[in-house]
Amino acid sequence: MDDLELQKLVEDISLQSFGKPFRHKAFFNERLRSTGGRYMLNTHNIEINRKYLDQLGFEELCGIIKHELCHYHLHIEGRGYKHRDQDFRHLMKAVRAPRFCSPLPERTKKAMPKRIIIYACKDCGQLYERKRSINTQKYVCGKCKGRLEKIKEVKQG
């Protein structure tokens, strides 16, 4: 799918789901990394992450487009277009747009911690699991203010 096909798809979804035309530009942005798409407030354009189409398919792409069109139409109408606004939540439910996009398979592998470090309080025995090392000279137990010591480090996969 190229940018022209994406533009046509966004225009079609806008008319079918919202009953309103999309009068700006929609295109793929290869630099997007952590999000499926974004609506630009200044230009009213919509940018889409191509990886979501490639890795998760057409249905996921349509969901992302509906989500961004919710921002678009509400902002154009001067209504609440932010995620926390009631107008936005009602419109999302009405058009059955996802609140969040699914995580990319390539990112879920990186998200798993490679190790877990277990600390224990010397006084009360409270256990703490951390992904990163902490300075035991600086931090104390949140329960009794006792000294912490590193018990073990568990390596994963």
The string of pLDDT tens digits covering residues 56-99 is 999 999 999 999 999 999 999 999 999 999 999 999 999 999 99
Same domain, 127 and 74: no
Catalytic machinery residues: 68
For residues 140 and 14, give the distance between their C-alpha atoms in angstroms, rounded to a whole number: 55
Write down the pTM of the prediction: 0.69
Same domain, 69 and 98: yes
Same domain, 64 and 134: no
Q: At residue 157, does pLDDT exceed 80?
A: no
Same domain, 146 and 92: no
Same domain, 101 and 136: no
Same domain, 15 and 50: yes
Instruction: Look up the domain containing 93 and give its range.
Output: 3-107
Same domain, 132 and 90: no
